[in-house]
Amino acid sequence: QAQSVCRCTCCIYPTLGAPMSSKFTADIPTDVGEAAVLQLTEQWHAVSTFRVFYCLIIAGVICMHHWHHACFYRWFVGSGLQQEQRRGLGYAAVRPYGLFELPRLTVAQFHVAGATLVATLVLACFDNLAPRIFLWCAFALYFLYFSQLFCESKAGGHSTVMIPTTLFMLGLASPDSGSVWPLEALKIYLALAYCASGFCKLAGSVYFGRFWGNGTTLQCYVYEAMWTRPGNHPAVQWAQEFLLCSPYICTVFGVFSLIFEAGFPAVLFAPHWCSAVLGAGAALAFHAGIELLMGLDFLSYWCPVLLAFVAEDIAATATVLSAGGGFTKAASAGLQSFLAPAGASTLVTLRQGFDAEPLAVALAGLYLLGQVLVSFSFRDIIGEERLPFSCCPMFFFPRNLFRATPKLFCISGANWRKGGYLDCSWLYNQAFVPPFELRDEDLARLQFPIVTFGTLAPMPEELSFRVKPKYRDQPFVMFTNIDLGEELIGRLKELVRELTEAEERDAWRYEKLLTVLELQKECQALFAARSSYIGPWSDKTRREKAE
C-alpha cells in the first residue's frame, strides 16, 4: 500500500516548480510505515518553493494592476508633460544602477512588455523548462515595464525595487542545488535596506539636531497623508485623526520604527522562529501600517520577498501535502519546521553555497556590496540615486507641523491609494526644478483637479537646490488647475497661518491640533464642491462628454 501511495504521488504530482531533491531508486517494501512513506516521498526544496510562490504572486499582482497601469500609460504618452520624455526608476526616473538609459515604449509595446513579463514569471516556476533563463528574462523585462511607470501612483517611486534584486538572486541559483544560500542572500539584502533606512533617519536626527522618533515627525507625515491619501474607510480615517491628536502614541510608533529598521540585521542571528516572526511578521505589519495610515503600497510588490523567511516551513508543509498526508499533518510538519532548532548560520550557509557554486555566490556578494556602498553613503539624499540600490530615504527629515520650515500640502480629485494616476502628491509641482517641475500647461493636462499649497519660508540651504529661486522663502504659495473661489483660498491661507504663526509646542496641544484638523476637513469639503462643477472634471462636463 505504501508503495502504491508513493508511486501515485509521483504520477499526480505536478511539474510546477518540481522542487524535489530526491528520486526513487528502489521499490519500497510493502510493510513500510507511514513515516517511511513521507521520508521516501520527493522533498520540496526551499529555494524552488520560494521561487514558485514569489513568481506567481508578482505575476498575479501585475495582472491585477495592469488595467490601471495601462490607463495611466495611455494618458501619459499623450500628455505632453516634461516627465513623459523620461524613463527610469524612482520619481526622478534615474537609470538602473546608474548605468543605462531605458527606451520609451508605445502603448502597444507596453502591453506586450507586461504580458511577456507575466509569462516569463510563470514559466520560471517550472524546473523542467530551464527556469534560470526565464528568471533572467523577467529581470530584464522588469526594467522595460516598470520604467514606464516611474511616476504612477501604484508602481512609481521605490515600491517595486525589490523585484529585480529577488530575480537576480534566484537567477544565480542552480535549480539542482540543495543549498539555501539565495534565501540567505535575500535576507541580508533586506537587512541592509531596512538598516540603511533606519540609519538614514538617525543621521538626519544628528544633522538637523532633532530626534526623528519624538512623535512630531510621524504626526506630520500622517497629517500630510490625510490631504494626499485620505483613508477610504471610516476606521482608517479615525486612526489617522487619532494619531494626529496623539503625539505621545506617535512617539512610541516612531521609536519602534527606528528600532525595527536600524536593528533589522539582528534577525539574521536569531533562532528560526524568531527570525520568521520579526523578519516576516513584523515587516508585514510595518508595511500594512504604512498602507493604512499613509496610503503607500509596499504590500503588493515589496512584501512578497518576505516569504524568504518562511520558505523552508512552506516547503515542509508542501512535502507532506504532496505525499497525501492531509492538511492536519501538513500543518504539523510546517509547525515543527518553524519551531525547529536553528540550522547552519547565515555565514556557514553562504560558505557552503560558495563551495558548490563559487561564481554565483561571488556575484551575489558583489551585488550586496553595491547595496552597502550606495545605501550607506546616502546617495539618494544627495540626488545621486542608483536604484534599485537605495537607502529608502522616504520620511527621513525630522518634522514638526508648527516649526518654521517649508510645508506643502496637496488636495486632488485622484485616489492616489489606487493605481492609474500621475503621483504628484510628493514632488511634482511648479515650485520645483526639473525633473520634478510641473508647468502651468502641465497642470491643465492632468487627469484630475488639484491644488498644491503651503509655505516655502524659511528655505533651508540644504533644500534650496530643489526649488526655483523665485519661490524660495515665499510665505504662501499655491498651484492649481481649477478656480478655487475666494472662500477656499481664504481657508487655505488661514490654515497656513495656523501652522506658521505658532510654537513648536503646539504639536502637543490638543486644542491646536483640533483646529488644524477642522480646517483640513473644511478645505477638503470646499475643494470637492468646487471640483464637482468647475473645470473639465465637473459633473456637467462629464454628462456633456457622455452625450
pLDDT (tens digit, 9 = 90+) per residue, 187-203? 999 999 999 999 999 99
Dump the DSSP string for 64-109.
HHHHHHHHHHHHHHTS--GGGG---BTTTTBPGGGT---PPPPHHH
Does residue 42 carry a pLDDT above 90?
A: no
Q: How confident is the model at residue 253 (pLDDT cuts 50, 70, 90)?
A: very high
Cβ-based neighbour number of residue 74 at 10 Å? 14
Cβ(233)–Cβ(424) under 8 Å?
Answer: no
C-alpha distance from residue 412 to each of 231, 415, 416, 537 (Å): 14, 8, 9, 11
Name residue 65's amino acid: H
Q: What pTM value is reported for the model?
A: 0.90
| Residue 6 pLDDT > 80 | no
Q: Residue 463 has what pLDDT?
A: 83
What is the pLDDT at residue 357? Answer: 94
pLDDT at 25 over 70: no
Q: What percent of the chain has pLDDT over 70?
A: 89
C-alpha cell of residue 426: 510628493
Tell me the pLDDT tens digit for each residue of 205-244: 999 999 999 999 999 999 999 999 999 899 999 999 999 9
Report the SS3 class of residue 145: helix
What is the average per-residue pLDDT within 447-452? 94
Is residue 86 within 8 A of residue 435, CB to CB? The reply is yes
- What pLDDT digit, counting tens, does each position of 138-174 carry? 999 999 999 999 999 999 999 999 999 999 999 999 8
Residue 22 has pLDDT above 70, yes or no: no
In this predicted structure, the answer to whether residue 260 has a pLDDT above a threshold of 70 is yes
Where is 452: in which H helix or E strand?
A: strand 450-455
With cell 512617539, the residue in question is 251
Cell (9 digits) for 171: 537567477
* Amino acid in position 85: Q
pLDDT beyond 60 at 376:
yes
pLDDT of residue 74: 97
Query: What does the DSSP assignment read for 210-260?
Result: S-TTSSHHHHHHHHHHHHHS--SSHHHHHHHHHHHT-HHHHHHHHHHHHHH
Alpha carbon 446 to its chain centroid, in Å, reads 25
Question: Mean pLDDT across the stretch 461-471?
Answer: 90
Contacts of 266 (CB under 8 A, 6+ apart): 278
Contact 488, 526 (CB under 8 A): yes
d(CA 176, CA 137): 20
Query: Could you report the per-residue pLDDT of 298-344, keeping only the tens digit for each?
Result: 999 999 999 999 999 999 998 888 888 788 888 888 888 888 876 67
* 386 touches 379 (CB < 8 A): yes
Q: What is the CA radius of gyration of the chain?
A: 26
Cβ-based neighbours of 82, under 8 Å, separated by 6 or more: 434, 435, 437, 439, 442
Quote the mean pLDDT of the chain: 89
Residue 43 has pLDDT above 80, yes or no: no
57-77: average pLDDT: 97
**Mean pLDDT confidence for 126-145:** 96
Task: Please say whether the beta carbons of 385 and 94 come within 8 A.
Answer: yes
The one-letter amino acid at 25: T
> In whole angstroms, what separates CA 82 from the centre of its chain?
25
Model pLDDT for residues 83-100, shown as the tens digit of each residue: 999 999 999 999 999 999
pLDDT at residue 97, rounded to an integer: 97
C-alpha–C-alpha distance, residues 419 and 274, integer Å = 35
pLDDT for 29: 40
Residue type, 506: D
123-150: average pLDDT: 97
Does the structure show a pLDDT above 80 at 177? no
Q: How far apart are CA 48 and CA 21, in angstroms?
A: 10
